[in-house]
Amino acid sequence: MNPKTILKNIFGYDEFRPLQEEIINTILTKKDSVVIMPTGGGKSLCFQIPALIFDGLTIVISPLISLMKDQVQQLTELGINAVFLNSSLSAEDYRINEELILNKKAKLLYVAPETLTMKKTLNLLSSVKVDCITVDEAHCISEWGHDFRPEYRQIADISLNFKNVVIAAFTATATPQVQDDIAKNLKLKNPKKFVASFNRKKLYLQISPKTDPLTQIISFLEKYPNQSGIIYCFSRRQVDELYEELHYRKFSVRPYHAGLSDAERKKHQEEFIRDDVQIIVATIAFGMGINKPNVRFVIHHDLPKNIESYYQEIGRAGRDGLQSHCLLLFGYGDISKINYFIDQKEEKEKRIAKMHLDALIRYAESYNCRRVPLLSYFGENYTKENCGMCDNCSKEEKDLVDVTTEAQKFLSCIKRTGEIFGAMHIVDVLRGSKSQKVIDKNHHLLSTYGIGKDISKEQWLSLSRQFIQRNIIEKDYEYGSIKVTELGKEVLKGTSKVKGKLTAEEFKYKTQKDISLDYDNELFLLLKFKRKEIADKSSVPPYVIFPDKTLMEMATYFPQTEETLNRIHGVGTQKLVKYGQTFLNVIRKYAFDNSKEEKLPVKKIKKVKPLKSNKRFMEIGNAYKECFSVEELSAKFAIQPKTIISHLTTYVREGNKINTDLLTDLIETNEEKQKEVFAAFEKLGVNYLRPVFDELEETVSYDDLHILRICYLKKIIE
């Protein structure tokens, strides 16, 4: 089988993601490669597909047992023979896996480098043909990376044991130092390098001023009921506090940080992965080793360490390619907290840390598309005018008003207090606060004292951030004090105007409907429920059974036969056989109770090779060709005439020719009207009958439309 057929038949996916096909082909020609692709980019498939094509074994080196287990589970569900060898196995299972390798039953072997270098493993492998060594999470080989694993350094030597073996290294770490280290330490021979774009298009990026984090988080969570997400906090204490608050409010939530016992951490992680719990409140200790694809949101309660950590943390959302929401709550208090930690460091480290922090602040305070500074950090030049998926791009210029007067008040107050205070103090003076600091400094005697009472504290703070953005004030990040810039002086003089937002800057997240599917939520939930039931029975995470997108498509197209089910995203041969009937039963019952009809997914009309196991439509189509009428076919196959028609539709769609005379005998619509129906198909497409039914003002019955659709399809094929 070729890569594309494997993608469709085994994995159930229609298209390769960017670079996947090229990478697969390179590995197949036995050329070493280094692949840099963001989290969720689909790296695993790039070595799993060659593994199925190679005659010999593919060894996959992975740093964590949880990652190996996850992949082996997923592959097993797809009917692929994959095993791992590690200390978590019982002696018996270990032996069974060894046997599978010796007997050439296993196509992929997952191991940690420690296991690979063991004598008994090398012995075992000495008698099998190894075609490919895949190094997953290859940044572990570099001291510059964040998870250096010295054992990775031994991989190069071990690879010498195998003749004609290709090495493919994969990582999501983009820094050039790490990339060079990978090629060098693996001793790759003139490797081909693939660097995918780091733009994760489906992540909606939002940064909001941290005004009242708990309320902000709760109102956010309320928008995502029954969805999985991660909330990152700076400290363990913060995790515990937020967890308590959310737990008390009956959210389905667990804490995760290094202060918990191993057993507790493991339990919470497992509950999250298995959809028993929706939300994890965690420190950055959480994430590595999590492959959960349906994380729908990531919230940063506190400022992350730097852009790279931020990118990595938000990257845990939306691996399944569906739209996901990333919210960062940005508070100036957090900056001083991080600064405090930075100050404990040594001089050189301190400078670098400060630079990183500055880049992060610039990112947070930018008025432009979030993707520009984010991607430029990874050396990418993002040139699209409007990404449509960040707060700044969905903000409208018309929301801006003239805030020159406010700016003048603010600026003159900065001047009068000597340009040595932070925004908070300036706002206190403007709002006429009686705080000790104001009184001590005699600032209640200033002419600017109390002239800004008409505007709330939050609004003033928001304005001050906007003024920084507009470059009329500048902030000393070390001390937090603000000064008036040259441009600010113009504003004070009245020669320059300022525009800004007066209302709190809570930008509305435009919820575009996911993957443009208008799925039936009720059925989606029923399917999720069924999936969970099956997953629990075999003790795997639900996403191993089917990804969310599969269920969404089922709840969009209401497939009622195996043929149509097979066209759904993520339904390959093995899963069709294993779970097809179970899910079809749920869909059929729901469709019957709610009078929903099956629709054929638009995108998949193309030549999908019919599978051996489900050629029902072929059987029926061929029988029809032998001049059986629909009624006779219905009796012969013991299925409803409606379903016969649906099979015939598929049959014709697949490019088979039939004589439609037997069908047109069954309809009432006259020829004149038929022409109108065809025109409507021409105009509205053939995937949905409802629009056509409406277009004809309900003058043609659905029964007739079903048949006329076949006639129409037949005409276009010819």
Nearer to ligand ADP, 291 or 564 (CB): 291
Distance between CA atoms of residues 152 and 317, nearest Å: 28
End-to-end, the C-alpha distance of the chain in Å comes to: 30
Tell me how far CA of residue 354 lies from CA of 172, 303, 314, 479, 517, in angstroms: 24, 14, 22, 13, 44
Verify binding: residue 45, ligand ADP, rule CB under 6 A.
Answer: yes
The one segment of 16-24, 185-193, 221-229, 352-360 that binds ligand ADP by CB under 6 A: 16-24
User: Tokens 């992929």 correspond to what residue?
Assistant: 108
Nearer to ligand ADP, 20 or 238 (CB): 20
Among 68, 183, 390, 403, binds Zn ion (CB under 5 A): 390
Pairing of strands 324-330, 203-209: parallel
293 interface partner picked from Zn ion, ligand ADP, Mg ion, none, CB below 5 to 8 A per type: ligand ADP
Choose the one of ligand ADP, Mg ion, Zn ion, none that binds residue 387, judging by a C-beta under 5 to 8 angstroms depending on kind.
Zn ion
Q: How many residues bind Mg ion (CB under 5 A)?
A: 1
DSSP symbol at 60: E
Among ligand ADP, Zn ion, Mg ion, none, what does residue 393 contact (CB within 5–8 Å per kind)?
Zn ion
Residue nearer to ligand ADP on the CB measure, 120 or 603: 603
Total residues binding ligand ADP (CB under 6 A): 19
Q: Which stretch binds Zn ion (CB under 5 A): 245-253, 381-389, 449-457, 572-580?
A: 381-389
Selected range binding Zn ion among 159-167, 196-204, 385-393, 677-685, rule: CB under 5 A: 385-393
CA angle centred on 485, ends 481 and 487, rounded to 5° = 150
Query: Is the distance from CB of 555 to CB of 583 less than 8 angstroms?
Result: no
Give SS3 for 596. Answer: coil
Q: Does 298 bind Zn ion (CB under 5 A)?
A: no
Is residue 393 part of the contact set for Zn ion (CB under 5 A)?
yes
Query: Within 417-539, where are the H helices?
Result: 423-430, 436-440, 457-469, 486-493, 521-537
Examine residue 374 and tell whether it contacts Zn ion (CB under 5 A).
no
Instruction: Show the site string, 388-427: x = touches ligand ADP by CB under 6 A, - = not.
Output: ----------------------------------------
The distance of closest approach from Cβ of residue 237 to Zn ion in the complex, given in angstroms and rounded to an integer, is: 34
Residue 37 partner contact from Zn ion, ligand ADP, Mg ion, none using kind-dependent CB cut-offs of 5 to 8 Å = ligand ADP
Around Cβ 709, how many Cβ atoms within 10 Å? 23
Binding string, residues 614-653; x marks residues near Zn ion by CB under 5 A: ----------------------------------------
Q: How many Å apart are CA 283 and CA 618, to the nearest integer? A: 55
364 binds Zn ion (CB under 5 A): no
> In whole angstroms, how large is the CA radius of gyration of the chain?
31
Query: Can you spell out the DSSP letters for 121-132?
Result: HHHHHHTS-EEE
CA separation for the pair 617, 622 (Å, rounded) = 8
Question: Distance between CA atoms of 75 and 45, rounded to whole angstroms?
Answer: 10
- Position among 32, 131, 308, 320 found at the interface with ligand ADP (CB under 6 A): 320
Nearest CB to ligand ADP, comparing residues 62 and 459: 62
Binding-site member from 8, 23, 36, 39 for ligand ADP (CB under 6 A): 39
For 75, residues 6+ apart whose C-beta sits below 8 A from its C-beta are 48, 81, 82, 108
Judged by CB under 6 A, which of 3, 6, 19, 40 binds ligand ADP? 40
Phi, psi of 433, rounded to the nearest 5 degrees: -70, 150
Q: List for the chain the helix, strand, coil content (%; round to 5).
A: 50, 10, 40
Q: What are the E-state strand segments in 46-95? A: 57-61, 82-85
Q: Does 604 bind ligand ADP (CB under 6 A)?
A: no
Q: Which does 16 bind (CB under 5 to 8 A by kind): Mg ion, ligand ADP, Zn ion, none?
A: ligand ADP
- Residue in this structure with the two tokens 């270098």, named with its chain if needed: 117
Complex with ligand ADP: residue 378 or 449, whichever CB lies closer: 378
Residues 178/145, Cβ–Cβ less than 8 Å: yes
Q: Which helix (H) or strand (E) holds 171?
A: strand 166-171
Retrieve residue 45's tokens: 């498939």
Q: Where do the H-state alpha helices sit in 110-249? A: 113-116, 119-126, 155-159, 176-185, 213-222, 236-248
User: Shortest Cβ distance from residue 53 to ligand ADP (Å)?
Assistant: 16
Which of 66, 173, 283, 291 lies at the binding interface for ligand ADP (CB under 6 A)? 291
369, interface contact from Zn ion, Mg ion, ligand ADP, none, CB < 5-8 Å by kind = Zn ion
Distance separating alpha carbons of residues 297 and 106, to the nearest angstrom: 37
Q: Are the C-beta atoms of 59 and 134 separated by less than 8 Å?
A: yes
- What is the per-residue binding string for ligand ADP in 535-554, x denoting contact by CB under 6 A? ------------x-------
**Smallest gap from residue 75 Cβ to ligand ADP (A):** 11
Contacts of residue 237, Cβ cutoff 8 Å, sequence gap at least 6? none
Q: Choose the contact partner of 621 out of Mg ion, ligand ADP, Zn ion, none; CB within 5 to 8 A by kind.
A: none
CB nearer to Zn ion: give 265 or 300: 300
Site string for ligand ADP, 17-36 (x = CB under 6 A): x--x----------------
> Which CB, 366 or 408, lies closer to Zn ion?
366
- Contact by Cβ (8 Å): 260, 309: no
> Among residues 133 and 430, whose Cβ is nearest to ligand ADP?
133
Contact positions with Mg ion (CB under 5 A) in 7-46: 43
Q: Which of 44, 58, 159, 417 binds ligand ADP (CB under 6 A)?
A: 44
Among the listed residues 195, 136, 132, 196, the one whose alpha carbon sits nearest the alpha carbon of residue 169? 136
Q: Are 20 and 45 in contact (CB under 8 A)?
A: yes
In terms of DSSP bridges, do strands 473-475 and 482-484 run parallel, antiparallel, or are they unpaired? antiparallel
Which span sits near Zn ion by CB under 5 A: 217-225, 386-394, 569-577, 659-667?
A: 386-394
String of DSSP letters for 620-642:
HHHHHHTT--HHHHHHHHT--HH
- Residue 422's Cβ-count burial label (10 Å; 0-12, 13-18, 19+) is middle
Nearer to Zn ion, 272 or 330 (CB): 330
Task: Tell me the window of 8-16, 487-495, 612-620, 661-669 that interacts with ligand ADP (CB under 6 A).
Answer: 8-16
Decide: is 369 part of the binding site for Zn ion (CB under 5 A): yes
Q: Between residues 16 and 234, which has the closer beta carbon with respect to ligand ADP?
A: 16
Minimum gap (Å) between residue 49 Cβ and ligand ADP: 10
The least distance separating Zn ion from the CB of residue 370, rounded to whole angstroms, comes to 5
Positions touching Mg ion (CB under 5 A) are 43
Q: Which stretches of the chain bind ligand ADP, using CB under 6 A?
A: 13, 15-17, 20, 37, 39-45, 291, 293, 319-321, 547
Binding site for Zn ion (CB under 5 A): 369, 387, 390, 393
